[in-house]
Structures are given as structure tokens and as C-alpha cells.
Amino acid sequence: MKVKFAVIALAGLASLGLYDSRLGAQAAGKNVWDGVYTKEQAERGKGLYAKECGSCHGDQLTGGEMAPALAGGDFLSNWNGLTVGDFYDRVRTSMPLNKPNSLSRDVNRDITAFILQANSFPAGTTDMDTKSEMLKMITIEAKKP
């Protein structure tokens, strides 16, 4: 009976993508401190954020009346241990709240790069990908490991 429950629980986690993405991230050993986006991507993302997200989440990412902050301690503790891919997919499929799924992968990628920059994670020389599977190999670590 116990074994059966464990199998069902694992299958449930795998179907949510959580089990896979955490294992993948550990295997690849990359995290947000490794320079996972470029300055150019973040710069483009800054303008796109202002246009698509700022009205609700605040120009300084501090949140609004309804929308939570996208930078700082609370935000980072929400996402700590998850992956950049989890974040990217969350934004891609549910934001902007008033027209979800309307932005291209390139736009979502650049906005993700900008949000990483705004949370003080360093830029690097490798372009950030637009594939969720690739981004799921990068762990969000609130504190430099």
C-alpha cells in the first residue's frame, strides 16, 4: 500500500515537471550566478518589461495593488530552488494577466533576463535560450552558493 502511494506521488511530481526539472538542474549544476543571460538581452527586456508588465508590477518591480513584486526578498524566497525554466514558463503561460500567452518566446526570454538582472544576478557572455528544457537546467539560488 505504501509503495503504491510513493509511485503515484512520484508520477504526480513528474507530470508537474517539478521532479524532472530539479533533477536536471542538479545534474547540469548551473545556477543564476553563472552568467546565464547577456547584457543586451536584459537591455531589450527592460523596455519590454516597461511596456508589458510595469503597469501592474511597478516600474521598479516592487509590485502594485494586486500584483506581487518581481524583485527582492519575498520574490526570491518564492522562487529559490526552482529553475529559470519554471519562471519562464509561468510568465509565458499566465502573463500578462490580461492577455496570457500573447508574447513570443523571444520577448519572454528578454523579460526574464531583465528580471534576473534586476535581482542582481550577473550577466554573462552566453545568450539565454528560449527553450524551457534548457532553462530548466538553471537553478534559481537566492544566495550565491
Name the site residues for ligand HEC (rule: CB under 6 A).
52-53, 55-57, 66-68, 70, 75, 78, 90-91, 94-98, 103, 111
Residue closer to ligand HEC by CB (options 75, 121) is: 75
Nearer to ligand HEC, 69 or 134 (CB): 69
Grid cell of 115 as nine digits: 528580471
CB distance 141 to 33 below 8 Å: yes
Number of other CB atoms surrounding residue 116 within 10 Å: 24
Q: Select 29 or 83, whichever has its Cβ closest to ligand HEC.
A: 83
**Closer Cβ to ligand HEC, 1 or 36, answer by number:** 36
Burial class (CB in 10 A: 0-12, 13-18, 19+), 92: buried
Decide: 138 and 36 in contact? Cβ < 8 Å: yes
